[in-house]
Amino acid sequence: MSSGAESEERKFAAEWARFLGADFSVPTANGSSAIVACLESAGVSYGDEVLVPGLSWVACASAVARVGAVPVFVDLDAESYGMDPIVAEALISKRTAAVLLTHLSSSIADIDSFQRICADHGLILIEDCSQAHGAVWRGSRVGSFGDFAAFSFQSSKLLTAGEGGAAVARTERNFMALQEARADGRSWSNEPARKHFPDLAVGSSLCQGHNFCMTEFQAAILRESLRHLDGQNRKRIERVALLEELLEGIPGVRTVRRRNDPRVDVPTFWHLPIQIEASEFGGADAERVRCLLSERVGLYLEPVGAPIPAHDLYRPGLYNRFPREHIRLLKAQHVPLPISSLLSETCFTLPHHALLADESCITEFADRLSEVRTDLIRERA
């Protein structure tokens, strides 16, 4: 019910769209529901195929499977940690309807190539910016390039309210569809807010809706946090510059992200992937280094996780709401993804909050990593 004032939810929606330089934004319960809302608003449905990253959080694929479409996995580029546009284009079929272009870890995807691919093949471009809040590509924020964009504000993300999400659209029609997807088919009222009356109208029935609504409490937290996002992103840029300088002095270690690309104006750092060359660490793999280093710095360094089709949490075979033939199609997407597998096996990640620490902590992190390396080499000898 309305308090008589404009809701925090609608204020955040407007502020988020303004921050992104996007046309329209609709807050949602979480990032996964934002992706579902984008797919349904775009008309992606049963039997369609959607290109998704081979290595990412499982929701990139499970949200696609949930609307009845088939996620088709695109391998990554080993240097940039981005979805590989050449691989993606080769996977396009008559059934391909959309691309879920995910800005992964600490890299902006090659947006220009995917915009060209989507234009050439008549595909819907949905950016998944759940790991890249505030990143800037060729002068504009990520989330403003696609037909749609989805964001997560879950507790691990750069901007968070514990849980939460947002969907972004370009056109009024899609904005209306997203509103309906969010609130069981209803949209925001055009009437002035009235105390004790709901801020809802019966929509134009573009979408069969769900309850994907964000709470007032989450919206209020996000409005406040948004004021700090750019400053925090700037600080992380400085810390990463220092860390990378220090890592240059340690053989067999590098960060994996899109670098030396003039199209990236402001990079964001979510989980910074650090790649380990086992031969330089006495034969120890990234997992061994991750465990030792986590203990020594007293900070949980996250593993990258398996490529989605091999991930324990991605189990499309458990759906029993689709015909067997469709389930077989979902399972058939368990394809080899050599670069995703390589990155998953050779990297661990440094979480973004550690990159807000003092410079001395960054120096200590590099020192501890160097020590771990020396110990592992000595152990081998």
Ligand X SMILES: *Cc1c(COP(=O)(O)O)cnc(C)c1O
Q: Is the CB of 30 or the CB of 333 nearer to ligand X?
A: 30
Only segment of 56-64, 119-127, 329-337, 339-347 that touches ligand X (CB under 6 A): 56-64
Q: Is 180 in the site for ligand X (CB under 6 A)?
A: no
Measured from the CB atom, the residue of 165 and 203 that comes closer to ligand X is 165
Residue nearest to ligand X (CB): 31
Residue 59 near ligand X by CB under 6 A: yes
Interactions with ligand X, residue window 89-118 (CB under 6 A): 102
- Applying CB under 6 A, the span of 14-22, 54-62, 237-245, 373-381 interacting with ligand X comes to 54-62
Nearer to ligand X (CB atom), residue 297 or residue 308? 308
Mask for 13-52, x = binds ligand X (CB under 6 A): -----------------xxx--------------------
Closest to ligand X by CB, 75 vs 199, is 75
Contacts of 260 (CB under 8 A, 6+ apart): none
The radius of gyration of the chain's CA atoms, rounded to the nearest angstrom, is: 21
Q: Is 218 in the site for ligand X (CB under 6 A)?
A: no
As measured in angstroms, the least distance from the Cβ of 58 to ligand X is 8
- Give least dist CB 149 to ligand X, A: 11
Question: Of 25, 41, 56, 187, which one interacts with ligand X (CB under 6 A)?
Answer: 56
Nearer to ligand X, 152 or 275 (CB): 152
| 57 counts as binding ligand X under rule CB under 6 A | yes
Closest CB 75 distance from ligand X, rounded Å? 16
Residue 349: partners with Cβ closer than 8 Å, 6 or more residues away: 105, 271, 272, 273, 274, 301, 302, 303, 304
Number of residues engaging ligand X in binding (CB under 6 A): 14
| Nearest residue (CB) to ligand X, 131 versus 179 | 131
Region of 55-63, 283-291, 344-352, 364-372 interacting with ligand X (CB under 6 A) = 55-63
Amino acid at 349: T
Query: Of 102 and 187, which has the nearer Cβ to ligand X?
Result: 102
**How many Å apart are CA 4 and CA 231, to the nearest integer?**
33
Position among 37, 52, 55, 60 found at the interface with ligand X (CB under 6 A): 60
* Shortest distance, position 204 Cβ to ligand X, whole Å: 27
With respect to ligand X, which residue has the nearer C-beta, 103 or 373? Answer: 103
- Decide if residue 187 touches ligand X (CB under 6 A): no
Q: Mind spelling out the 3-state secondary structure of the chain?
A: CCCCCCCHHHHHHHHHHHHHCCCEEEEECCHHHHHHHHHHHCCCCCCCEEEEECCCCCHHHHHHHHCCCEEEEECECCCCCCECHHHHHHCCCCCEEEEEEECCCCCCCCHHHHHHHHHHHCCEEEEECCCCCCCEECCEECCCCCCEEEEECCCCCCCCCCCCEEEEECCHHHHHHHHHHHECCEEECCCCCCCCCCCEEECCCCCCCCECCCCHHHHHHHHHHHHHHHHHHHHHHHHHHHHHHHHCCCCCEEECCCCCCCCEEECCCCEEEEEECHHHCCCCCHHHHHHHHHHHHCCCCEECCCCHHHCCCCCHHHCCCCCHHHHHHHHCCCCCCHHHHHHHHHEEEEEHHHHHCCHHHHHHHHHHHHHHHHHHHHHHC
Given the complex with ligand X, which of 257 and 373 has the nearer CB atom? 257
Residue numbers 119-158 binding ligand X by CB under 6 A: 128, 130-131, 152, 154
Give residues in contact with ligand X (CB under 6 A): 30-32, 56-57, 59-60, 102, 128, 130-131, 152, 154, 165
